[in-house]
């Protein structure tokens, strides 16, 4: 009888990982004390009725995590509880948020901005409802922020929403009132899939390659399905990081114009990519609803989205949609955003985030296999295509076992999900934490992968 018999909860995971989990549980719970000798691998394999290689792999993983140690000629022994708790710190690679730059001077300016705006805010502004879409001052700040990409716009064509998702809800809601079909990239921002479910829409996936959507696929969809709108994230696409070329943008516009279908341009990342092609809204302003904002390039705490509508009639309809959904902009939040923009704080914060993003994308490209990785220099997320012997669910399961939390492609797919995951490079707090996480991920990819099973 072995000195230790693990209680296995396989739950569709490899047996060797179930054994490692049992090690963690029994060490943390005090069943296995530091210095306890584990049974010989052959003995444990015979007792559990599994291959010797399964136990060997479990012990190797336990040693890698710092749970156990082997002494030549003596056997395998449990290490300290402290080693268990620090073996694999958790690293979130799921939430797609901008990295926090190492810039203490910006932190001081942010604190000063809160105080300044608080002192300037009139009591009446806080105690009265305001017009949906923001005040003249708020919209003027939006024009200032967008003028680099859209120099011809004015306050008459801009309105504010409390975040990109609420803006997309209003735009798609009013465009699909009579026809419940839209088209989007076949791998798209998860918020579009959620909106489709909420509004009862059919969301048709446009085929893609490494550069973005294929115009031929869009043309076929427009001919066959006549969608009410076309949603695109053409710059630093989420999740693949691709950027649509100028040539393809012109083709997309020609197709949309020919079929009289409005474009919805989610341009939330373009401020981080100053060399990207012109926005769709600058090439076809009469056809495009342009959505930009501050959450990805300045701060997620500033839930501000600026929407540029094709014309005043469209803006009026959006104002009605805003009144029916979000009501008005939070006055203090929109005033804070305006202050950040007019004082240059938003610009400086964005530049610092861009610099940090470039450093982090370099870490990912240096540590992960180049043939598998799609990661634009200015993107704080990356797209990892898995080797042939992995499925996305197996990979996510095993990544979670070593404290890493990527997102499987299912979250983005409108069709058959590819064997791939998205990695958020901005979620780890420091570059050192990201580097350590990418090294762990690279080790996982390099291991020979066999998906053990209790089924014989």
In the block, which residue shows the tokens 């504010």? 160
| 206 burial via Cβ count (<10 Å: 0-12, 13-18, 19+) | buried
Q: For residues 9 and 236, which has the higher predicted lDDT (pLDDT)?
A: 236
Model confidence band, residue 216 (pLDDT cutoffs 50, 70, 90): very high
Nearest CA among 169, 172, 163, 157 for reference residue 330 = 163
Q: For residues 25 and 126, which has the higher predicted lDDT (pLDDT)?
A: 25
**Residue 405, beta-bridge partner list:** 92
Under a CB-based contact definition with an 8 Å cutoff, are residues 78 and 32 in contact? yes
Q: Give tens-digit pLDDT for 38-52.
A: 999 999 988 998 888
Question: Would you say the C-alpha torsion 64, 66, 72, 73 has a positive or negative sign?
Answer: negative
Cα(157)–Cα(180) distance, integer angstroms:
26
Residue 24 in tokens: 């963690």
**Residue 35, beta-bridge partner list:** none
3-state SS track over the chain: CCCCCCCCCCCCCCHHHHHHHHHHHHHHCCCCCCCCECCCHHHHHHHHCCCHHHHHHHHHHHHHCCCEEEECCCEEEECCHHHHHHCCCCEECCCCCCCCCCCHHHHHHHHHHHHHHHHHCCHHHHHCCCCCCCCHHHHHHHHHHHCCCCCCCCHHHEEEECCHHHHHHHHHHHHCCCCCEEEEECECCHHHHHHHHHHCCEEEEECEECCEECHHHHHHHHHHHCCCEEEECCCCCCCCCCCCCHHHHHHHHHHHHHHCCCEEEECCCHHHCCCCCCCHHHHCCCCEEEEEECCCCCCCCCCCEEEECCCHHHHHHHHHHHHHHCCCCCHHHHHHHHHHHHHCHHHHHHHHHHHHHHHHHHHHHHHCCHHHEECCCCCCEEEEECCCCCCHHHHHHHHHHCCEECEEHHHCECCCCCCEEEEECCCCCCHHHHHHHHHHHHHHHHCCCCCCCCCC
pLDDT of 455 reads 41
Cα(124)–Cα(108) distance, integer angstroms:
28
Residue 300 in tokens: 């997620």
Distance between alpha carbon 94 and the CA centroid of its chain, in Å? 6
pLDDT of 11 reads 65
Cα(99)–Cα(296) distance, integer angstroms:
9
Cα(314)–Cα(49) distance, integer angstroms:
68
Q: Give tens-digit pLDDT for 416-456.
A: 999 999 999 999 999 999 999 999 999 999 886 655 444 43
Q: What rounded mean pLDDT belongs to the chain?
A: 91
pLDDT of 454 reads 44
Residue 393 in tokens: 């669910």
Q: Give tens-digit pLDDT for 71-91.
A: 888 899 998 655 555 556 788
| Phi, psi for 373 (deg, rounded to 5) | -105, 135
**Residue 159, beta-bridge partner list:** 307
Q: Give tens-digit pLDDT for 110-160.
A: 889 988 888 887 777 777 788 889 999 999 999 999 998 999 999 999 999
Instruction: Sketch out the chain's domains with CATH numbers.
Output: 15-86 (1.10.10.10), 91-101+348-446 (3.90.1150.10), 123-343 (3.40.640.10)
Cα(347)–Cα(337) distance, integer angstroms:
11
Model confidence band, residue 294 (pLDDT cutoffs 50, 70, 90): very high
Q: Give tens-digit pLDDT for 345-402.
A: 999 999 999 999 999 999 999 999 999 999 999 999 999 999 998 999 999 999 998 8
Angle between helices 345-367 and 331-343 (to 10 degrees): 80
Question: What is the side-by-side order of every strand in the sheet holding 407-408?
Answer: 373-374, 381-385, 420-424, 407-408
Residues 62-75, mean pLDDT to the nearest whole number = 84
pLDDT of 201 reads 97
* Half-sphere exposure at residue 373, Cβ-oriented, CA atoms within 13 angstroms: 23
């Amino acid at each position: 009888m072995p000195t230790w018999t693990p209680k296995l909860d396989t739950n569709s995971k490899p047996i060797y990982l179930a054994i490692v989990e049992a090690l963690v549980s029994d060490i943390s719970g005090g069943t296995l004390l530091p210095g306890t000798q584990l049974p010989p691998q052959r003995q444990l394999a015979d007792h559990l009725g599994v291959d010797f290689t399964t136990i060997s792999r479990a012990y190797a993983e336990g040693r890698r995590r710092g749970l156990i140690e082997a002494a030549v000629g003596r056997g395998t022994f449990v290490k300290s509880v402290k080693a268990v708790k620090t073996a694999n710190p958790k690293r979130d690679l799921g939430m797609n948020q901008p990295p926090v730059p190492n810039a203490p001077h910006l932190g001081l300016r942010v604190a000063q901005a809160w105080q300044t705006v608080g002192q300037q805010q009139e009591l009446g502004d806080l105690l009265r409802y305001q017009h949906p879409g923001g005040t003249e001052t708020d919209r003027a700040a939006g024009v200032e922020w967008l003028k680099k990409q859209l120099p011809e716009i004015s306050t008459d064509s801009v309105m504010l929403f409390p975040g990109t998702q609420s803006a997309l809800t209003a735009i798609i809601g009013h465009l699909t009132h009579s026809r419940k079909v839209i088209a989007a990239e076949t791998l798209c921002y998860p918020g579009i899939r959620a909106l489709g479910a909420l509004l009862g829409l059919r969301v048709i996936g446009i085929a893609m390659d490494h550069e973005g959507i294929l115009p031929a696929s869009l043309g076929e969809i427009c001919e066959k399905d006549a969608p009410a709108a076309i949603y695109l994230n053409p710059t630093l696409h989420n999740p693949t990081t691709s950027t649509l070329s100028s040539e393809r943008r012109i083709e997309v516009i020609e197709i949309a114009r020919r079929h009289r279908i409005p474009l919805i341009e989610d341009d939330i990342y373009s401020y981080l990519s100053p060399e990207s092609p012109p926005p769709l809204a600058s090439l076809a302003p009469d056809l495009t609803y342009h959505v930009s904002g501050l959450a990805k390039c300045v701060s997620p705490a500033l839930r501000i989205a600026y929407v540029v509508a094709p014309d005043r009639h469209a803006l009026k309809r959006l104002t009605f949609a805003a009144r029916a959904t979000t009501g008005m902009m939070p006055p203090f939040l929109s005033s804070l955003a305006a202050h950040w923009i007019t004082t240059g704080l938003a610009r400086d914060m964005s530049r610092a985030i861009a610099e940090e993003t470039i450093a982090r994308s370099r870490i990912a490209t240096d540590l992960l296999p180049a043939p598998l990785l799609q990661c634009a220099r200015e993107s704080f997320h990356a797209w990892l295509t898995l080797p042939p012997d992995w499925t996305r669910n197996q990979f996510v399961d095993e990544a979670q076992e070593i404290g890493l939390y990527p997102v499987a492609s299912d979250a983005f797919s409108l069709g058959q999900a590819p064997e791939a995951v998205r990695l958020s490079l901005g979620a780890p707090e420091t570059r050192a934490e990201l580097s350590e996480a990418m090294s762990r991920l690279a080790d996982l990819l390099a291991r020979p992968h066999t998906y053990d099973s209790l089924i014989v």
